[in-house]
Amino acid sequence: MGKIISLKNLALILILSFILLSPIFCYAAIDNLNNAFEANGPLDQVAGDNGAGYNTDEFGVEGIISQVITTALTFVGVVFLGLAIYAGYNWMTAQGEEEKVTKAKDTLTAAIIGLVIVIAAYAISYYVIDVLGGKALKPTTNTAPVAK
C-alpha cells in the first residue's frame, strides 16, 4: 500500500514550493524596470518637478538630535511593551506559586516606572528642544512647491 501524505507534510511541500517558485513571478516586470529609473522615464513623468513631495530640507543639529531622541524613546517604548507582555505571561503561568507571582508583579512595576520615566524624559526633551531649536520632535510638513 502507498503511504498517504499527511496534512502537515502537504502543507510543508506547498510552502516550500511557493518559496522556491515565487521568484518566477518577478521576471515579468524586469523589462519595465530597466527603463523605470532613467531620466525622463516613467517615474519622472509621474513625479514631475516636485518628486514625491517629501520635505527634503537638510537637518540642522537640532533635527539630528530630535531624530536620535525620538528613535531611542520609541525603542524604549518597545522594550516596555515586551517587559509588560513577559510579566503578564509569567503571572498567568505562575499557577498560584507566590514566588513567581511576586516576580511578575515586580517586573511589571519596574516596567511601568520605566515607562513613566521615559514619558517624562520625552516631555522634558520636547520642551528643551522646542525652546532651543523650534522644530525638533515635531513631524515635518510638506514644504515642497506645489505645481500649478
Higher pLDDT pick, 67 / 47: 67
- Model confidence pLDDT, tens digit, residues 106-139: 999 999 998 898 888 888 877 877 776 655 555 5
- Model confidence pLDDT, tens digit, residues 48-98: 666 666 655 666 676 777 778 778 888 888 899 999 999 999 999 998 899
Beta carbons of 107 and 90 less than 8 angstroms apart: yes
Exposed, middle or buried, 117 (CB in 10 Å: 0-12/13-18/19+)? exposed
Higher pLDDT pick, 33 / 90: 90
Q: What does the domain layout of the chain look like in residue ranges?
A: 7-47, 61-133
Instruction: Tell if the pTM clears 0.75, that is, is over it.
Output: no
Confidence band, pLDDT 50/70/90 cuts, at residue 22: confident
Beta carbons of 137 and 70 less than 8 angstroms apart: yes
- Residue 65: half-sphere exposure toward Cβ, Cα within 13 Å: 14
Q: How far apart are CA 71 and CA 144, in angstroms?
A: 25
